[in-house]
Amino acid sequence: MSILEIIRSRRSVRSFSGADLRQEDAEKIMAFAAGASNPYDIPVSWFLLDAKKDGLSSPVITDTNIWIAGKMDRVSHAEEAFGFSFEKIVLFAESLGIGTTIIAGTMNRPAFEKAVSLAEGEVLPCVSPLGYPAKKMSLREIMMRKGVRADSRLNFGELFFDGQFGTALTPEKAGRLKNVFEAVRLAPSAVNKQPWRIVLCGNEAHFYEKHTKGYISGDNWDIQKIDMGIALCHFELAAEECGAAVSFKVDDPGLQISADLSYTATYMIN
């Protein structure tokens, strides 16, 4: 399967089949996770957790007991770095037929933090169940998906811009990068807010975060930066696949932006 096919077929899975995660699948995921780097070079430690042993639960997840959780130092850009690495793991799991849902809120967080022995100065941004999808979604899952319009995404021209904000980028204008932008468009995000915006200036793609009010917590933790890391991940993986060599930098080009936007990072495309 191509990365774009994997991205297209992935959805959050909240209802599982009840079958145990096969040992070989668990091992493959943890081996992959150990090498799931991010462009910020911030390390994340990954844990495979057993819900029964550690008393873990989520009101939205049914019929699996296995979870993956990541913890890291609470440093600048931790959110983007985590989103990038976690999404690589999510897409790898999808390629194995294993369902996931990135969860930041709807879980008993203290139990997860205890299970990974979270220390002062560390953060556990998100967790995900791992398992095989049930044939049918639970009613709660169906309602949740409706609530956040999980099957829809903003249009290409609402997310991507040509040279400056205000000038929509068309798929035609994106040329060979069309599928790279499409891969970003389809990314998952918290409450499906899709905060990523990209301005393509020549061979540079500048990423911006469009802030939704109320998403930065009192301690300055910004969950939408996790979404930005996911978007960067989709861009890089899809670019690699279409044969475009990309390199990453954080260097604000100083474009004119509205007050609800902030610069995240840039990919240079060769």
Ligand X SMILES: Cc1cc2nc3c(=O)[nH]c(=O)nc-3n(C[C@H](O)[C@H](O)[C@H](O)COP(=O)(O)O)c2cc1C
Contact call for residue 188 and ligand X (CB under 6 A): yes
Q: Least Å distance between CB 150 and ligand X?
A: 4
Contact call for residue 142 and ligand X (CB under 6 A): no
Q: What CA–CA distance (Å, rounded) separates 37 from 158?
A: 30
Q: Least Å distance between CB 136 and ligand X?
A: 16
Q: What CA–CA distance (Å, rounded) separates 232 from 87?
A: 10
Q: What CA–CA distance (Å, rounded) separates 246 from 268?
A: 5
Considering beta carbons, is residue 42 or 223 the nearer one to ligand X? 223
Considering beta carbons, is residue 142 or 191 the nearer one to ligand X? 191
Contact call for residue 11 and ligand X (CB under 6 A): yes
**In angstroms, how far is CA 11 from the centroid of its own chain?**
12
Task: Show the CA angle centred on residue 225, arms to residues 235 and 90, nearest 5°.
Answer: 55
The CA–CA distances, whole Å, from 104 to 58, 95, 144, 163, 262 equal: 11, 23, 15, 34, 22
Contact call for residue 182 and ligand X (CB under 6 A): no
The CA–CA distances, whole Å, from 109 to 50, 104, 122, 138, 214 equal: 14, 9, 14, 23, 20
Q: Least Å distance between CB 231 and ligand X?
A: 10
Contact call for residue 80 and ligand X (CB under 6 A): no
- Figure out which of the listed residues 96, 123, 137, 150 binds ligand X, where binding follows CB under 6 A: 150
Contact call for residue 141 and ligand X (CB under 6 A): no
Cβ density class 94-113: b for 16+ within 10 Å, e for less: beeebbbbbbeeebebeebb
- Figure out which of the listed residues 148, 168, 201, 257 binds ligand X, where binding follows CB under 6 A: 148
Structure tokens at 91: 């897409």
Q: Least Å distance between CB 198 and ligand X?
A: 17
- Figure out which of the listed residues 105, 157, 166, 253 binds ligand X, where binding follows CB under 6 A: 105
Contact call for residue 137 and ligand X (CB under 6 A): no
Q: What CA–CA distance (Å, rounded) separates 10 from 176?
A: 23
- Figure out which of the listed residues 42, 223, 232, 246 binds ligand X, where binding follows CB under 6 A: 223
Contact call for residue 212 and ligand X (CB under 6 A): no
Give residues in contact with ligand X (CB under 6 A).
11-12, 60, 101-106, 126, 144, 148, 150, 188-192, 223, 226-227, 230
